[in-house]
Structure 1
Amino acid sequence: MTPLLTRALVLRLVSVVAGAIGFYLPLAALPMLAADHGTAAAAGLANGALLVFTVAGELVTPRLLARLGCRWVLAVGLVLLGLPALVLLTPAGSYVVAIVAVNAVRGIGFALSVVAGGALTAALLPADRRGEGLALVGLVGGVPTLLALPFGTWAAAHWGYGVVLVLTAVVPLVAVATVPALPARDGGSEPSHGLVAGLRNAALVRPAAIFASTAAAAGVVVTYLPLAVGDHAAWVAPAALLAQPATSTAGRWCSGRLGDRRGQTRLLVPGVLMSLVGMAAMALTASGPVVVGGALLFGAGFGVLQNATLALMYARVPAAEYGTVSAIWNGAYDLGMGAGALAVGVLVTATGFSAAFLVVAAAMLPALGMARGESGRRSAARAQRSPQPAYVVSS
């Protein structure tokens, strides 16, 4: 079996962890800082700028990869993700416009780092174990993600924003030192197709659309579940929001191991079904155990699709186009989460949370159809490759 955990991949994992910490540590703290110097609307504006500029950065990163290579773009992304936070330690940090601007630059940096890093990671993984390798990278990046967000909020409240801002700047900058040691074969030469051509490729768009549907539901869960369950059981929201990422990480790991052995397309239908049923269960907001059980099931399905769709997309392009795949997949993730939260924000005033959650579950039915179509295409392709039986006519 081809070795998976090489020296190059270990070095890459350093920047994976650093990028996760740099992004998630101040994710809730900076909106708190903006609200302290402005209003609640300022808090939304701060993270709104982060999301908008992240998506914009993901759209242009493939062109930068063609010109500069993955290592340069990854290094610049880490710098932009961390260094601007130090601006908020100066007198300018008391202005909301400065906080919004810093988050906008950080969004660009995050986009550069995840797209370039994703392409570089794919190039470092053996093709026969790519699904497992992506699951490993997701696991390593998922642990600091789980810890950094609550720690950043706690640290800002108990130690002050300065500690959070310094850590946000220092951790990604330290990881930059590992980038030059990564292999020079960093994602391929200039891609033969750009992002626009990639978006015209149905073989890439279908898995991305399937994942985007569950990403939209995930945006709804993290944004509205605490409001939906209310105060009738204070333990429900924390338990559900812990269960969902925990089973997502487990689902991603299982998906990686199974997908390499049995094919990624076989995992799409189960992943969508688990996500859909889990989302529908969370609509029963009056029952705490059902909500938590739904979060467990939804998280597992989300993790399966997270890994299977990305591995499938990488398998369908040459190495030179890994950057395009990384940009499309990450864009589907971010746009899906943002669109889900925005749509339900409009819907919930008319329907209430339970009905809105059921609508979100129903909105995943087209993704289920696409997932079934992907499985059918794989079966048809296998049938075409199979040797035709020879028929002997006896007299």
Structure 2
Amino acid sequence: MTTACETTTALVTDRLLDARFVRLLAMVFGSGLSIYLLTSVVPLYLAANGAGGIGAGLSTAATMFSAVSVELLITRMLARWGYQLVLGLGLVLLGAPSLILLATAALPLVLAVCIVRGAGLAILVVGAVALIADLTPPTRRSEALGVYGVAVGIPAVIGLPLGVYLGHVIGFDALFVLAAVTSLAGLVMLIGLPATAGTEEQHVQVLGGVRRSGLLMPSLVFAAVTVAAGISVTFLPLAVAPSKQSMVATALLLQAIAAPLARWLAGRYADRIGAAKLLAPVLVLAAIGAGSLVFLPSPVAILIGSVCFGSGFGAAQNLTLSLMYNRVDRSRYGQVSALWNLAYDGGWGLGAIVFGLVVSGVGYPAAFAMTAAVVAVAVLPAVKASA
């Protein structure tokens, strides 16, 4: 009988960037481009066809709500159908519905497309992260997750502005086709990847045994940081005068660049020093960055704060995920991936909703100070974990 240890050894190679890992990264990059090319374009498409701001907001909400809902199901899907089939389904759900937009701009149908694409996105992010844990040696897992962070970060940096630019240059229809192709092309990359999620029994309950397995603390810590991330991206443009929007764009670009770089660097050092020891310092950095927004509209505070927060946020992504994987056996890899992505998407959405309610009563400086305090509180359990 093949043991779990033997199965894991069969999947792992000494080299980090072997052929399977490179194919996985290529798939992740293409699917990332597919989602980010249309993130800002679909709201523009709806607005251009008379849906207005309400329709634009609903399109983003539909994508995120769908992703959060489906993330609860993916561990069972991986256990039943394996990596190749589930990831292939995710690529199809993310890419193919974009072609429906060629025929209609009706709000109900566009929202349906967003819901299906959100499901595909959820499948891909959860499945890919779980597969990385299977494909890479435990001694280099943090570094592998850092490389993965770069692969998913670059599409965000180039895809958001490129989508808006191409929408004006080549038109919406050509862009919808491009978004479909970049995702569906990833189906070729699935060849040679592990077909199954392991021969041992998989833990399929996302929330089951979270406290006993030591996953609760890093999940909540990461959620605290994603709360601040969702707030900064959503409300910074609204908190600054229209005449200074170029500065806001620069700040968000710096944050988007800093995050994947910090995620990669954190991975390299976490394998040598330990993820728990690095977590508290990067949370302090993130809290400083979030707190800098109290000094709006100071350009220096905003730009430096964006770099600090982006660095802390990116590093925290790697360190919390590495810490979670280090605390469980292989049967819980799918659970870790789903739980971490729930913290990501849930914290992002919850932060934006609560902040919107709070800011109307206390104003932007006080609300941003509260945001920084949420991140700062997360430092305490991180310090305890490193002791």
Q: TM-score range by the shorter chain?
A: over 0.9
For 2:68, which of 55, 72, 79 is the aligned residue?
55
Structure 2 counterpart of 1:289, one-letter code: V
In the alignment, structure 1 residue 334 sits paired with structure 2 residue 365: no
Could you state the TM-score of these two structures normalised by the residue count of structure 2? 0.93
In the alignment, structure 1 residue 119 sits paired with structure 2 residue 130: yes
- Bigger CA radius of gyration: 1
2:329 maps to what in 1? 318
2:249 maps to what in 1? 238
Alignment of 1:43-192 (within 5 A): 43-90=56-103, 93-184=104-195, 186=197, 189-192=200-203
1:382 maps to what in 2? none
Name whichever of 351-360 and 76-85 sits farther off: 351-360
Instruction: Tell me by how many angstroms 1:200 deviates.
Output: 4.2
Could you state the TM-score of these two structures normalised by the residue count of structure 1? 0.91
Q: Which runs of 5+ in 2 are unaligned?
A: 1-12
1:364 maps to what in 2? 375
Instruction: Tell me by how many angstroms 1:35 deviates.
Output: 2.1
In 1, distance between residues paired with 2:163 and 2:174?
A: 9
Q: Look up the SS of the partner of 1:178 in the other structure.
A: helix
In the alignment, structure 1 residue 347 sits paired with structure 2 residue 377: no
Instruction: Tell me by how many angstroms 1:193 deviates.
Output: 5.2
Instruction: Tell me by how many angstroms 1:47 deviates.
Output: 1.0
Q: Is the 8 A contact 1:229 1:236 kept in 2?
A: no
2:314 maps to what in 1? 303
Q: Deviations over 1:97-143 (max 9, x none)?
A: 00000000000111111111111111111110100111011112211
Identity of aligned residues (%): 37
In 2, distance between residues paired with 1:297 and 1:196?
A: 32
CA gap of 1:188–1:126, structure 2 versus 1, over 3 A, is: farther
1:291 maps to what in 2? 302
Name whichever of 48-57 and 178-187 sits farther off: 178-187
1:390 maps to what in 2? none
In 1, distance between residues paired with 2:372 and 2:318?
A: 21
In 2, distance between residues paired with 1:63 and 1:183?
A: 17
Instruction: Tell me by how many angstroms 1:184 deviates.
Output: 3.8
Q: Which runs of 5+ in 1 are unaligned?
A: 377-395
CA gap of 1:196–1:231, structure 2 versus 1, over 3 A, is: closer
Q: RMSD over aligned Cα, in angstroms?
A: 1.6
In the alignment, structure 1 residue 211 sits paired with structure 2 residue 226: no
Name whichever of 45-54 and 344-353 sits farther off: 344-353
Structure 2 counterpart of 1:48, one-letter code: A
1:11 maps to what in 2? 23
Instruction: Tell me by how many angstroms 1:202 deviates.
Output: 5.5
Q: Look up the SS of the partner of 1:233 in the other structure.
A: helix
In 1, distance between residues paired with 2:214 and 2:114?
A: 34
